[in-house]
Amino acid sequence: MAPPLHVAFCGVTEGPWRVERIAAVIGEGLPPAPSLSVIEGDAPAPERSAWVLRGVTGHERYTTAAERTRLRARETPLGRSEATRAALIPIRKSPEWWALAQDERRTIFEERSRHIGIGLEYLPAVARRLHHGRDLGEPFDFLTWFEYPAAASDAFEELVSRLRATAEWRYVDREVDIRLSRSG
C-alpha cells in the first residue's frame, strides 16, 4: 500500500509477536500485555486490546536525497523470516522541540546527533519503519518499529543506547521500550 499507511500497534492476549518486556524509559509506561498485533490500513483494532498505539508512515521529514541514497542501498524490508526479534519504541518529544524551526531541528537531528548516520551503521541487520502520531492526536509523536535477527540483538542494544545518548534525545519527554519475539 502506498504511504501514508495507517498502522495500529495493539497490546493483545494472543498475537503474532510475544511481548518479552515493556520498559518505561522516560515518563509514564504502558500497561502490560502478553502479545502484540500490528494492524495495517483500515482494519479495526482487536476489540479487547489493552492499548492501541496509532501512527502513519509517510514522506521523510529530515533525510536529504544523498542520505536517502545511502539508506536505500543498505536497508532491508520488514517480514524477513530470520528477523525473529522486534522492538516498538514509542517516543514523544517536548514542546521545546516542536517550537524549533526546521533547520534547527535538522541540525540537532543529524549534524549534532547523527541520527541517520548511526542508524546506517546497523543496516542491513536492523530493519526499521517510522510512524508519525502527532498529527493524529496520539499520546506518542513517533512509533519506531524495528525487526532484527537474534544474532543482531547486541548490536540493536548498542544502537538504542547510542541514540539515547545524543543531543536529540534531550528533547524526548516520554519513551517506552517494548521488546518482542515471534510467537510460535
Instruction: Give yes or no for residue 136 binding a second copy (CB under 8 A).
Output: yes
Residue 8 burial (C-beta neighbours within 10 Å; 0-12, 13-18, 19+): buried
As given in the structure block, the three cell numbers for residue 123 are 543496516
As given in the structure block, the three cell numbers for residue 164 are 539515547
As given in the structure block, the three cell numbers for residue 77 are 524490508
User: Cα(35)–Cα(124) distance, rounded to whole angstroms?
Assistant: 26
Q: Which residues inside 78-117 make contact with a second copy, applying CB under 8 A?
A: 95, 98-106
Q: Which residues inside 114-133 make contact with a second copy, applying CB under 8 A?
A: 132
CB of 144 to a second copy, least distance (A): 16
Report the 10 Å Cβ neighbour count for 81.
Answer: 7
CB of 50 to a second copy, least distance (A): 24
| One residue of 3, 31, 79, 184 binding a second copy per CB under 8 A | 3
CB of 33 to a second copy, least distance (A): 26
Exposure of 162 in the CB half-sphere (CA atoms within 13 A): 17
Pair 135, 59: CB distance under 8 Å? no
Instruction: Give yes or no for residue 51 binding a second copy (CB under 8 A).
Output: no
Q: Of the two residues 106 and 164, which places its CB atom closer to a second copy in the complex?
A: 106
| One residue of 80, 134, 162, 164 binding a second copy per CB under 8 A | 134
Interaction site with a second copy (CB under 8 A): 2-4, 6, 56, 58-65, 67-68, 95, 98-106, 132, 134-137
